[in-house]
Amino acid sequence: MTQSSTRSLTRWLRTDEPASRLQARCIQVYNGWQDLRSNKLAMIGLIIILGLVVTALFAPFLAPQDPYAQDLSRRLLAPGQDGFLLGSDELGRDILSRIIHGAGTTLYIVLLVTLTAPVAGLIVGTVSGYLGGWTDAALMRITDIFLAFPKLILALAFVAALGAGIENAVLAIALTSWPPYARLARAETLTVRNMDYIAAIRLQGAGPIRIIVGHIWPLCVSSLIVRVTLDMAGIILTAAGLGFLGLGAQPPMAEWGAMISSGRKYILDYWWVATMPGLAIFIVSLGFNLLGDGLRDVLDPKKAQS
């Protein structure tokens, strides 16, 4: 792209009088990106998450060794010893390679939960808030039942019923993660359902499904995006907890929680076996929290109004 075309694009994005709806949306995204760029901590979080994605996608090329290759003659080697940058585990496997491949497992869990729990919560919350009455009472009592149990305990119950495995762990996490999104979507719906423009749309003949999908869902998306980003750390910790208890990813799959579980018996003498995957969980969780705080500042409608 030439310098002149870059300048024209910048002027097009900075104009105060958009000529079309597409231009208005592009201007809104551009201004949000500029606000996000000014938040250094949010950019650090974004870099961490992008690093997770790149690591997961190119794990076979980034891992220095086979993460599943065992060599008992080189078990429990300290970091930097015999070519093991982060040390080796109790079976002589390279911890760094297993952490790199475990990034794919973590990203897989995050993506599946993100595609299921917020969508279910959005549907339940908006339907409950818009219809009201006995529908609202029934859906919210079901939501309260799920919220009454700690997330990890409820996930353990679901996994115990479904069986151990990463797919069942993801399903259990999704089943325990949707209630907060339902509560948030219901609150947003109650705020807008009696507004004048919703009444005008209703008078034009729009039915409940069209109003919910076309006019209420877009208003709830920004709040849900922020909540999802902030909840990713808890989702990762829940998945790691299930893996630690042997109910998530099964051996020999490289998963950070399972790696901590296998290294806990060596924690006093060979601290790196459990510490290194624990640091990976900490860094990724911190990245999601930093990005979530930045997105909250950018997408907060109250801030935009002020």
- Mean per-residue pLDDT over the chain, rounded: 85
Percent of the chain with pLDDT over 90: 25
Using the predicted structure, report yes or no on whether residue 224 has a pLDDT greater than 50.
yes
Using the predicted structure, report yes or no on whether residue 278 has a pLDDT greater than 60.
yes
Per-residue pLDDT tens for 87-122? 899 888 999 999 999 999 888 888 888 889 999 999
Residue 102 tokens read as 């475990």
Using the predicted structure, report yes or no on whether residue 306 has a pLDDT greater than 50.
no
Average pLDDT over residues 132-144: 90
Distance (Å) of CA 158 to CA 114, 119, 146:
18, 20, 12
Higher pLDDT, 65 or 202: 65
**CATH number assigned to the domain with residue range 28-71+87-305, chosen from the 4 options 1.10.3720.10, 1.10.10.10, 3.30.70.890, 3.20.20.140:** 1.10.3720.10
**Whole-number pLDDT of residue 1:** 54
Average pLDDT over residues 194-211: 82
Per-residue pLDDT tens for 12-65? 777 777 777 777 778 877 887 888 888 899 899 999 999 999 999 999 999 999
Using the predicted structure, report yes or no on whether residue 8 has a pLDDT greater than 80.
no
